[in-house]
Amino acid sequence: MNITTMTIIYTTLITGTLITLISSHWLLMWIGLELSMMSIIPILMNKTNPRSTEAATKYFLTQATASMILLMSIITTMMYSGQWSIIHSNNPIISLALTLSLIMKLGLAPFHFWVAEVTQGTSLMSGMVLLTWQKIAPLSILMQMTPTINQPLIISSALMSTLLGGWGGLNQTQLRKIMAYSSIAHMGWMLVVMNLMPSISLFNLMLYIMLTISLFTAFYTNNNLTTLSLSYVWSTAPPTIIIILLNLLSLGGLPPLMGFAPKWIIIQELVKNNNIMTPVLMTMTALLSLYFYIRLTYSTTLTLFPTTNNMKTKWYLYNKKTTTILAPMTMLSTMTLPLTPLLLTLN
């Protein structure tokens, strides 16, 4: 795909998300979501092979179904209230349909089955865009809907997402699938506190995007697709080991890394609102995700898979792939935990 085509596609992708972010008009929001959906399909199919075509088709069918439900709910809202504004969506049945359609677009449980398959069928960079940028627009609509949102549905979806995101990643060896299940689990954490403190959900989203970009960039520069390939990084790009280690542990939420901050704040906020059972369940299900993060760090830094001696020392070839973004992203997403009180003060 030539540079002009890619520029047009990425410009449309960014424009669609920005239209959704700045709008409070339902029709404009829907148009922004559709622009974003239609522009990412060529990105998913950038490498022409049956797997990428299948992944793009699965993504299109799921998103088209969610868009159909969303548009039907929007039109019904307009018929009942006579307004296109998002604040007039106060009918409980319509609010339920709107929430379900946005949950499907985000890939949250129980509509999470497409996320891992689509991510696995695409390239690393396409998967990175899918798991980061494409989450922003639907999540922004959910944040604007918080006064009228179906809270029991949101809590149930968040708990199921953290459980199934951790459970699904346990037996995976493909890095793209592991990152997809990690995305499902992290979206659950963002969702559970959205009604209480949307700003904390936004903070969690920003941190998750930085961590995911850092990891995908590290995987891309070393062409890592499986856990087996991670065990050879020490012989080809030793500094990358530290970057992958820090980002994985930060994603798992281990102190003193920055990934600990949003989980700590979310649990604290839920306890303040006398909601004890939800943080207990969220913490227990987060242990599943933490297990496969630690397993990845263990295979990357401490052990080698059974191999012959010849395979342990791979040829080092000069890597022309750019890694400029790795250093600042890693610093911001792992080493800024002392700034958490400042962030809370600004909030």
Domain total in the chain = 1
| DSSP state letters, 203-260 | HHHHHHHHHHHHHHHHHHHHT--BHHHHTTHHHH-HHHHHHHHHHHHHHHT-TTSTTH
Average pLDDT of the segment spanning 329-333: 74
User: How far is Cα 220 from Cα 207, in angstroms, rounded to an integer?
Assistant: 20
What was the pLDDT predicted at 13?
96
CB distance 173 to 228 below 8 Å = yes
User: How far is Cα 230 from Cα 261, in angstroms, rounded to an integer?
Assistant: 27
Average pLDDT of the segment spanning 169-186: 93
What was the pLDDT predicted at 49?
79
User: How far is Cα 288 from Cα 168, in angstroms, rounded to an integer?
Assistant: 9
Where does residue 253 fall: left (phi above 0), alpha (psi -120 to 50 degrees), or beta otherwise?
Answer: left
Q: With a cut of 80, say whether residue 123 has pLDDT above it.
A: yes
User: Across 45-49, 179-183, 310-314, which has the greatest mean pLDDT?
Assistant: 179-183
The CB density around residue 168, as the number of other CB atoms within 10 Å, is: 24
What was the pLDDT predicted at 213?
92
Sequence-ordered list of residues with C-beta below 8 angstroms from that of 137, at least 6 positions apart, any chain? 16, 17, 20, 21, 32, 33, 36
What was the pLDDT predicted at 89?
63
pLDDT in tens, 75-91: 988 888 777 777 656 67
User: How far is Cα 48 from Cα 269, in angstroms, rounded to an integer?
Assistant: 47
Q: With a cut of 90, say whether residue 41 has pLDDT above it.
A: yes
Cβ-in-10-Å burial (0-12, 13-18, 19+) of 287 comes to: exposed
Q: How far apart are the first and last CA of the chain?
A: 43
Domain extent at residue 36: 3-346
Instruction: Give the confidence band of 318 by pLDDT, cuts at 50, 70, 90.
Output: low
Identify which has the larger pLDDT, 277 or 317. Answer: 277
Go through the chain and tell me how many residues it has.
347
Q: With a cut of 70, say whether residue 192 has pLDDT above it.
A: yes
